[in-house]
Amino acid sequence: MDLRLSIEPHDTLVVHLRDGDREVSVPVRPASAGLASLSRALGDAMATGYGECFWPGSPGGQYWWIFKRDGDVMDVIAMWTRGGAALWEHVFRVSDSARWVQETLEAEIGKL
């Protein structure tokens, strides 16, 4: 998995994810709230095995980040919904080393 963060115009945090040929970008505004909630969710998963956060989608809808740790394996899951009676749609899912995910996210936040 490749994980990168960037700050785009209008104070938008974008998480860029890639696994093989699959590549997605997940945006949120404001960037500081997105960074705080993503860090908290990953920290919860490292401590307890599960962490999640919700981001308002742009332009509309909602993203749901899920971090699930089992030993040294971390599942990173991003879902999206339009809200209401709509179901959650899969955006991205990958499993990788929990320590690698934590260190990579911390390094990317440090670059910002």
φ, ψ dihedrals at 24, nearest 5°: -140, 160
Q: What is the pTM of this model?
A: 0.92
Q: How far is CA 38 from the centre of its chain?
A: 6
> Is the domain 2-111 a CATH 3.30.565.10 member?
no
> pLDDT tens digits for 8-27?
999 999 999 999 999 999 99
- Indicate whether 89 pLDDT > 80: yes
Band (pLDDT 50/70/90 cuts) for residue 85 is low
